[in-house]
């Protein structure tokens, strides 16, 4: 095999799902492609999540000679402290009528979250650009959060552009001029978006 193809296979291993024993775990962070009975799945492993989802499914009359593989998600980070969401809600109200953005950062070594506001470079009621936060070793930007001022929370085409290719939860809070803000949340995984949730305990969930 030539060096280029070796490098590609090394960066994105291709694994046949075993039929009668467990799939060997991915020993490092990154992406593997898994060929199972029903088609091709993508497995993404990060310090805070492991996600397996279908990329291409075989036609109904074709079954490949490999083991079965289901979609799955495992969250490895602890729950988001409610205080961080409260802090952002307060900061977003303070910034009205403009938008504002912040990062909820998780440290995988000490399992601690921290909140960092992103310094706005330009902010209007419908737009914010900002200076990105700096991450220390073992820190991961798990939740990207921004406000829509007094407009409702939803993922705009600008949000789609900003989130494209990233791996994080993306959260929008809107209607901050009202007592109860509206919210929207999704998991962004390298070009795909999955509906997500965060409950009152701060537990992040994903719908595959
Ligand atoms: Zn937005």
Residues in the chain where the model's pLDDT stays below 50: none
Expressed in angstroms and rounded, the spacing between residue 143 Cα and the centre of ligand 1 is 14
Q: Which residues contact 190 (CB under 8 A, 6 or more apart)?
A: 31, 44, 165, 166, 167
Q: Answer for the pair 74, 50: CB distance below 8 angstroms, yes or no.
A: yes
CA 169 – ligand 1 centroid, Å: 13
Q: Domain-by-domain residue ranges, the chain?
A: 3-75, 82-206
Q: Please give the pLDDT value at position 150.
A: 97
Cα–ligand 1 centroid distance for 98 (angstroms)? 12
* 129, 120 contact by CB (below 8 A): yes
Q: How far is the CA of 130 from the centre of ligand 1 (A)?
A: 13
Give the span between the Cα atoms of 118 and 141, in whole angstroms: 12
Top CATH class, 82-206: alpha beta
What is the Å distance from ligand 1's center to 193 Cα?
15
pLDDT the model gives residue 27: 87
Tokens for 72, please give them.
Answer: 């799955």
């Amino acid at each position: 095999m030539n060096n280029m193809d070796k490098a590609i296979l090394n960066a994105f291993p291709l694994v046949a799902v075993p039929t009668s024993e467990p799939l060997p775990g991915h020993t490092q962070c990154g992406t593997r492609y898994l060929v199972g009975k029903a088609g091709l799945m993508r497995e993404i492993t990060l310090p805070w999540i492991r996600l397996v989802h279908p990329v291409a499914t075989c036609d109904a009359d074709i079954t490949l000679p490999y083991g079965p593989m289901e979609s799955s998600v495992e969250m490895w980070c602890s729950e988001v402290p409610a205080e961080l969401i409260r802090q952002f809600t307060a900061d977003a109200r303070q910034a009205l009528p403009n938008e504002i953005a912040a990062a909820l950062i998780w440290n995988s070594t000490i399992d601690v979250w921290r909140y960092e506001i992103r310094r706005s470079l330009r902010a209007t009621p419908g737009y914010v650009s900002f200076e990105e936060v700096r991450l220390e070793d073992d820190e991961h930007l798990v939740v990207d959060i921004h406000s829509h001022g007094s407009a409702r929370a939803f993922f705009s085409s600008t949000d789609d552009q900003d989130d494209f290719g990233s791996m994080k939860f993306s959260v929008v809070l809107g209607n901050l001029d009202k007592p109860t803000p509206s919210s929207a949340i999704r998991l962004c995984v390298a070009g795909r978006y999955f509906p997500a949730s965060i409950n009152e305990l701060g537990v992040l969930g994903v719908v595959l």
